[in-house]
Structures are given as structure tokens and as C-alpha cells.
Amino acid sequence: MLLAVSSPPFLHCGRTIRKASFEMLIALAPAAIMAIWHWGMPAARVMALAMLTGILAEALCQKIMRREVHVDDFSVVVSSLLFAFLLPAAAPWWLVVVGTAVAVFLGRMAFGGLGTNPVNTALVGWAMLYISWPGLMDPNSMQLETMYMDPLVRLKFFGASGVQGIGLGELLLGCQIGGLGAAQGLALLAGGLYVLARGLVRWEISASFFIGVLASATLLYGLDPAHNVQPLFHLVTGGTLLGGFFLATEWASSPTGRIPMLIYGLFAGVMVIIIRVYGIYPDGVPFAILLANLVAPLLDGIRPKPFGARR
């Protein structure tokens, strides 16, 4: 009888990349459903097109690189969906295709595939589109047939008094103009808590990110309540929840040590508020996370001494 022979360890936790991707997609599903609820078929179309383009782009790249085509681990589907969440629901089809392709090419494959990108995959695509077609990427100018408002645009141009009447509850439920998935606060919160509980993303990053956002917002609000909004407003608007749970925590672009992760998250969170309050962009989350990604390798140099090393 032939027995299988291997070397230790013989057990495995059972989680493969594919299973992890499925769990991420489950976590993102509530936000996707809420996006369709609020924005209808256009949102569904953008998400589906992004995922399809992502799969084709990765397969094409892997073929050109003469590597085994590994789209069946579904990791590119997760990244593409996250990218789609940042887009306005009314984004034209070619914008979605170009953006996803850039995200996959530049944000992943050019560096070697899953796990190698120095900056977040979805945000690379978003940033390229935002700089090139700012009008088309601004949900406030794209989503015209709606009663909702874009709270961060109002904050930027009308000040704190311009957003007085908007309740946090309705913002959480997605009754705001923003990225089609990024605006679905409550759904993202549910999904985010799920991936945290499952250990798919590191709590150190999410916790320090949200603490960074809330602490800086609280500080500014405390110093000048007339011109700043209450801190929780910053949590439920723009890409904060999406960024804190799903974007800042991307494996490849974030550090792996505990102290590096805490500093990284804090840095990103504080930058979100600084860009929102003092910068020219209504939402600081994508650029804050991109900046933090650039700092991550330096932070990962903060390493504990190995077990037994003389202190």
C-alpha cells in the first residue's frame, strides 16, 4: 500500500487564498447589495464590469508573464470589487475598464502578482482615474438624479454649517452621495467586523486607523467647534469605513509587525483628517492610505529582537 510522505508540519489551518477571498467577498456582499439598493442597475453594472475586467486583466498578465494563470484564487475579484466601490455608480463603462486594468497592471501584476504591490491595488486605479478624469470620478457631479447630498463636498465648500442638518443615521444607511460601495457605512461596518473576527485583516491597522481619524477630528472639533464637524461625521462619510477595514488593511501594502501596523494606521487616520480639513480634496482617505502605504516598508523596519537575543 502506498502511503503519502511529507515533512513536518503535517497539519494546516485549512485557509487558502481562495477561501480567504471568498470570505472577503462575503464581507463585501452587504455593501454591494446596499449599493444596488440605492443606485440601482448602474451600480450592479459597474461592479460586475470591474470584476470581469479584473479577472481578464490578471489572466492576460499572467499569460504574458508565462506564469500559471491563477485567477481561480479570486483575489483579483476582491481587489476589483473594492475598486468598484470607490467609483460613482454612474461611471461610464470605459472608465471602469480602464481603471480596473490600471489597478491590476500597476497595482499588482507589474510588481509580481498577489502580495507584491507596494501600494493598494484598488487605490492605484482610483488615483490614476481621479487625476485624469476628475469630473467623471466625482460622485457629486455624476449622480444627478438623486435627493442625496455629498456631505464631504458640502463640508469643503459650505463649511460645518452646511452639513448641520444631515443625520448620522442616514449617512450610515448609505443615504449620501459617494462611491457606490464606500457610502454604505453600516453594511461596511458589518463586513468589516466580520473580517476582523475571522482574522483576515489585522485589527491593529483598523483600530489605529479609526483612532487616528476620531482623535484628530475630536481635537480639531474641540479647538474650533464652529468650523469643524463632530468627529463621528468623519467616520461615516467618504471612504473612511471602507478604507479602515478593507483598503488600509490590504496584505501586500501594509506592514506585518504589530508596532509598525499601529503607527501605520494612526498615520493614515490622521492624514485623512488633515487632507479633508486643510487639503484641496473633499475626501482624504484614498491619498492618506496611499501615503501610508509608501511609509509602510520603513515602518516594517521596526522589529522586535528574536526570542533569546541578548537585551
Partner 1 sequence: MKGLRFPVGCDAAEVAESPAPLRVRLDRCGFSVVSGLKKKSLVAAGALLATHPALDRGDLFASVSGEITEITDDDIVIAAVPSPAEGAVEPPADVPVIEASLAGDGLAAVLKKLGVDTAAFTAACETLIVNGLDPDPGISWAVPLLKSQHACLAAGFGLLGRLSQAQKVVLAVPQGTAASLASFDGVETREVPGEYPAGLDPLVIHAVTGKEAPDNVHAVSLHDLWGLGRVGLTGRPLTETVLTVSDGEYPAHLIVPEGFVAADLLELAKIPLEQGDMLLHDGTMRGAALSSAEWGVRKTTTGLFVLPAGSVAPLDGASACINCGTCVSVCPARLSPGRLSSYAEFGMYDKCRDEGLLACMDCGLCTYVCMARRPVSQYLRMARSVSA
Instruction: Count CB atoms within 10 A of the CB of residue 165.
Output: 7
Angle subtended by helix axes 41-64 and 17-39, to nearest 10:
150
Residues of this chain that interact with partner 1 (CB under 8 A) are: 1-17, 20, 68, 112-116, 199, 202, 251-252, 254-257, 303-309
CB of 102 to partner 1, least distance (A): 21
How many degrees, rounded to 5, is the angle at CA 270 between CA 266 and CA 273? 150
| Residue number with CB closer to partner 1 (184 or 254) | 254
Nearer to partner 1, 63 or 227 (CB): 63
CB 84, min distance to partner 1, A:
22
Q: How far is the CB of 195 from partner 1 (least distance, A)?
A: 12
Q: How far is the CB of 40 from partner 1 (least distance, A)?
A: 36
Shortest distance, position 17 Cβ to partner 1, whole Å:
5
Cβ distance to partner 1 smaller for residue 11 or 223: 11
Instruction: For partner 1, give the closer residue by CB, 14 or 165.
Output: 14
Q: What nine digits make up the cell of 77?
A: 475579484
- Closest contact distance (angstroms) between CB of 199 and partner 1 is 5
Distance, CA of 50 to CA of 52 (rounded, Å): 5
Residue placing its CB nearer to partner 1 in the complex, 89 or 252: 252
To partner 1, the closest distance from the beta carbon of 115 in angstroms equals: 3
